[in-house]
Structure 1
Amino acid sequence: MSDHNPRPGDPLQHYVNKAPFDPYRADTLTPEQERYYQASEWKIMWWKFRRHKLAVWSGAFLLMMYFAIAICEFLTPYNLHSRDTTHIYAPPQGLHLFHEGTFVGPFVYGYDFRLNMETLAREYVPNPDKIQKVRFFCSGDPYEFWGAIPGDVHLFCAAEGGTLYLFGTDRLGRDMFSRIIYGARISLTLAFIAVAISFVLGVIIGGAAGYYGGMVDAVVLRIIELIRSFPELPLFMTLSALLPVTWSPIGVFVGISVIIGFLDWPGLARAVRAKILSLREEDFTTAAQLMGASPSRIIGRHLLPSFTSHLIASLSLSVPTAILGETALSFLGIGLRPPVTSWGVLLNEAQNLNAVELYPWLLLPVVPLFLVVLAFNFLGDGLRDAADPYR
């Protein structure tokens, strides 16, 4: 949680630089204090979260990322599988606004290409005489929006007859910038599916263990300890290697999501169990039991809502684990496989150290991966601090 002083008018202002007051006298409360004591738990949580600037900016960045993957066909200048065999392993083209002191607008310099006969390396040199202006809202490579709606309009495209490779190209002449954005859709979607699976399993199994106790609790704890006793990465690798090679890309996608979700639920289940163990002895739980409420209703309508904010914080911290799990499996070649494109698949194509030494832009998928994982961690820290009633 941020340590800076609250802004004037902040409902939490009465915690700082305020003289002691009598809580039993309404006339001693300031308007900010009165607003705080009348606020709901969710509103107080929002006020606390809003003061955590790093978490707020991280949340905005993640919202922007998820909005981008929702319309990635429109945002990218090229189709996912478009190839330019004349520009294999082309380096990134810098985006410029001025040419020799004159404002031209967004443009890139075209390449001059030659093959080095000594090293057999492809050498591309920017040519200042080849000014290729960037077009906006232009017609380009055809695509099917979410695989259903045909279209060919892109946010920006290369000049007619030119190139626009902001992150360079790969061994097949495919635009790395477009493939990274397309890969974000797969990696981030898979992570959310995996976290949803782990959430359902963790809440159901952990809730049952905490509410019933006894033999149910003992069995659940032994299962959790058994799963946790295995090294995580080798277990991921073993289960992923068991997926049939004849499965379709969608089948592999679902299989990897289930594996990651299945191995991630014990942590959440343990937290849910601990919370419900402490809440099941409360008076409101006993009152619900005396009124004849079923265990599922007591858990779902009375116990879980009591620590929903903690569940949200835990989920936000589970997403980067799922993203890194998929990336690691795909990087090792036992996760997602082409033609599916994810950040892990893109990094798998950069395993050749000789290629990376000559074409370092093949490692650019690491940058969005690092930023997204870092943003989820900051967001989770902010939510956890906001949900903590003792902070």
Structure 2
Amino acid sequence: MSATIAPTVAAPPGRRRRVGIWVAIGMAVLVVGAIGAALTAGSEWVERDALDPDSAGPTGTRALARILEDHGVEVRIARDHEEVAALLSGDADTLVLPDTPSLSDERLRELVDLATDVVLIEPRARTIDLLIPSAAMAGAAAPGVVSPACALGDAERSGGIEPGALFTAAGGVSACYPVDGAHGLLMALNGDRRSSVVDGTVLFTNAHLADNGNAALGLNLMGRHPLVVWYQPGLADTDLADTDFTLGELTPPWVSPVIVLFLIAGVAAGIWRGRRFGPLVAERLPVTVRASETTEGRARLYAQSRDALHAADQLRIGTLERLSHLLGLGAGATAQEIADAAAARAGLDRGAARGILLDDVPATDADLVDLSQRLRQLEDAVHARVRPERNPR
């Protein structure tokens, strides 16, 4: 009993090439996706590490936290508001407060009231209004070192800085580092309690702490008490009951009526400018037209316009195409090459052949008839030399 072994058939080269192309495309998509995921993850880490006392990155604040500890100040990092409330005693402590969009105004006021000093290092309009009601944002400072120019001892001992965000405030608030009517540092005093507003994102981060008087200012503002509670809120730290807003709640009230108006206008425009349904003509398309009718129609148009040159061009184009095919010149041959080849094969003068196929210009209908006859005679002569056994017509 013999076994039959089926022959192995190799995949054709074209199929292997197509498979290879799709594999390369898939690999490229995976590489691009991996690069995008890495960049996204990197940006997320940068955002998460911003102003974080545990972060040694450029936007972190570990350097300032270590300086405070070296001067005998205990730095406690809290990542949710309940831990902040538990750490604050209100006797001798400082609350370092970044932006807290996930906390309600009531809970934020409770945390501020528990602290002896508050240093707002990431000012926003909402938190500034809660901390110093008479203060407001006033843009950003131009590059350049600014001197304190105020009677506040902490700022005078620190020296000049390059402030980032600027603020304005009414009377009763100490303001330092003036730039065009605004200031880079605000401090409100209420007995032994004080509230400070400064842009720590450009002063207290690891990348900029060694510049000018940044480190000294951070130490003077935060190191007045033996305990610093540094609030670094996490993504899940919120006291809001429902943070998933609907699209209707996020859009202004006039958006829905405008959308309805646009829909009505679109329907009205469609009815006004739209065409009726059904065929536009009763005749079914496509219509078959005989080639002879097309030729006769074009001939009548040429005759009515008395355009002998255009008619001659059409006759020459047809003759040149047939001669090129007959002589085996291919589609890339020029009219001059076809004329020279036809003259050589038919035994005619090259100039005479070019005159028939290219140069002679018929001025009258009689000239056009004569040219058509000479074109036919030239084609017949070439055909007789190439295929003498066959009738050219």
Pick the TM interval, shorter chain.
under 0.3
More RCO (CA 8 Å, sep 6+): 1
The normalised TM-score by structure 1 is 0.22
Structure of greater Rg: 2
